[in-house]
Amino acid sequence: MIHQGEYIRDILRGEVGKTVHAHGWVKTRRDSKGVSFVQLNDGSSFQDLQVVIEEGALPEEAMKQTTTGACVRVTGELVASPAAGQAVELKAKEILVYGGADPATYPLQKKGHTMEFLRDIAHLRTRSNTFGAVFRVRNALAHAIHNFYRERGFVYVHTPIITASDCEGAGAMFGVTTLDMMNLPRNDSGAVDYSKDFFGKPAYLTVSGQLNVEIFALSFTNVYTFGPTFRAENSNTPRHLSEFWMIEPEMAFCDLEGDMELAEAFLKYIIKYVMEACPDDLEFFNKRIDNTVLATLSQVVENNFEHVTYTEAIRLLEKSNRTWEFPVFWGADMQSEHERYLTEEVFKKPVIVTDYPKEIKAFYMRANDDGKTVRAMDVLAPRIGEIIGGSQREERYDVLLDKIRKQELNEEAYWWYLELRKYGSAPHAGFGLGFERVMLYLTGMKNIRDVIPFPRTPGSADF
Ligand code: ATP
Ligand code: MN
């Protein structure tokens, strides 16, 4: 037996009179005089297939089991539907119950569940309207990303998930070890002897693929990586996950201007793609989750992004006469309240902030001639703040080495990164985009835990 791709999505567009087999899970069942209505969904579309069962048409035993949550196959004939919003419905002739769902205990009842409750039943929440829509959008977004880069000739690179070079500096890392915690090998000074560990040295889960992807940019010109990254920060916010997905393009022969052009074209492309691929799902988010979603998305697609330097942005924040939770001064890292003020109130559209103080940005960002700032850019978006962080990379060997030394980083660990500047260096630039941050943007969902199938956050790694 194999499901031949007769998805409910396609059945809904079928011709009246056609005989079809529909497979799916019962969302709801309503009995009225002489007839039962069953809403069937197989995840292929937001819209359910309405199955109409006339009294006595199907065996009683099967009808008893056809309750919310049950999985069934219905064979029948497509007939014109008198109900609004659907051209056809399925008049049942035969039903096969693959698996029942005891109505007394099935946790996903009709509606009114909180997001928190649904998170606790992540094995079933995927069958709800909301999470059906979320994960169809997530799928479309992943396709959009690959299409965008493929159309531009970028090479897709798989960067490693386990890394033994503690040199990314983007955030706290998870250790990876096979050492016996109850019986750790120690060296003479009492420290853990990692030479006895699996890789012969400390290893971690990656926080970013950037340094690796730079290697590929300096061979294949335009490349990107799209994979999971891990941060062991204890930041329990609606915007942070311990495991999240990141898209990181890297381009040789490219400066910060080119980087910003790509970032803007990229965001517009993926938003437009998902708007075209998932209109019903976005309509649902706009109606039930956040009624500004569609308007903001169109606004992003239709307007040019604003550009402002960090120095100018700080001036705007200082001028605002607001009381900030986090103080504003030249040299301060911008917090979410500042980012949102700039995009939501000053510019009312996405803003790219450039040329940050070197002290608050990573060592690999290209130094500006002023000696104070670096060629960094962050894209800030209304509603969520920072969505992209990028930079032109320091391609000058001496300048980079000097920075590594001044910041007292482990020079040896960066040997290959430095050699890229010694042998055939080139100007290059790139950025990182948090996949789930875009998901928040597209769906209007409030919590990042609800746009990834199985969220991992401090204290929580269920399913
Ligand atoms: P933030 O200030 O929001 O913590 P960051 O400065 O740590 O972000 P980067 O290291 O620049 O972020 O990572 C690149 C992108 O990855 C960010 O712009 C954001 O979209 C996303 N991102 C960063 N940390 C997380 C996280 N913990 N969970 C989900 N997405 C994240
Ligand atoms: Mn962070």
Domain match, 262 and 332 both: yes
Residue 383, pLDDT above cutoff 90: no
367 CA distance to ligand 1 middle (Å): 22
Q: How many domains does the chain have?
A: 2
CA of 239 to the centre of ligand 2 (A): 10
Block residue for tokens 């928040």:
440
CB of 436 closer than 6 A to ligand 1?
yes
**Distance from the first to the final alpha carbon of the chain:** 29
Burial of 284 (0-12, 13-18, 19+ CB in 10 A): buried
Residue 355 shares a structural domain with residue 236: yes
Does ligand 1 lie within 6 Å of residue 38's CB atom? no
Q: Which atom of ligand 1 is nearest to the CA of 388?
A: 18
Gyration radius (Cα) of the chain, Å: 27
Domain residue limits at 94: 8-106
- When pLDDT is cut at 50, 70 and 90, the band that residue 109 belongs to is confident
Distance (Å, whole) CA 315 – CA 328:
9
Q: How far apart are CA 332 and CA 320, in angstroms?
A: 16
pLDDT per residue as tens digits for the range 10-63 = 999 999 999 999 999 999 999 999 999 999 999 999 999 999 999 999 999 999
Is 275 a residue whose pLDDT tops 60? yes
Q: Are residues 158 and 295 in the same domain?
A: yes
Report the relative pairing of strands 222-230 and 243-252 from DSSP bridges: antiparallel
Contact yes or no for 323/317 (Cβ under 8 A): no
Task: Kindly state whether residues 54 and 152 are assigned to the same domain.
Answer: no
190-224 pLDDT per residue, tens: 999 999 999 999 999 999 999 999 999 999 999 99
Reported as a single tens digit per residue, the pLDDT across 132-174 is: 999 999 999 999 999 999 999 999 999 999 998 766 565 689 9
The response to whether residue 355 sits with its C-beta less than 6 Å from ligand 1 reads: no
Is residue 181, in this structure, part of any structural domain at all?
A: no
Greatest Cα pair distance in the chain = 84
CATH number, domain with residue 79: 2.40.50.140
Query: For the whole model, what pTM was predicted?
Result: 0.95
Average pLDDT over residues 59-74: 96
339 CB near ligand 1 (under 6 Å)? no
| Beta carbon of 281 within 6 Å of any ligand 1 atom | no
Instruction: Assign residue 332 the CATH number of its domain.
Output: 3.30.930.10
Compute the mean pLDDT over every residue in the chain, rounded to the nearest whole number. 95
Please tell me whether residues 74 and 140 are part of one structural domain: no
For the CA of 386, the closest atom of ligand 1 is 18
Beta bridge partners of 436: none
Confirm whether 41 is domain-assigned: yes
pLDDT at residue 2, as a whole number: 78
Does residue 285 sit in the same domain as residue 416? yes
The answer to the question of residue 192 being in a domain is no
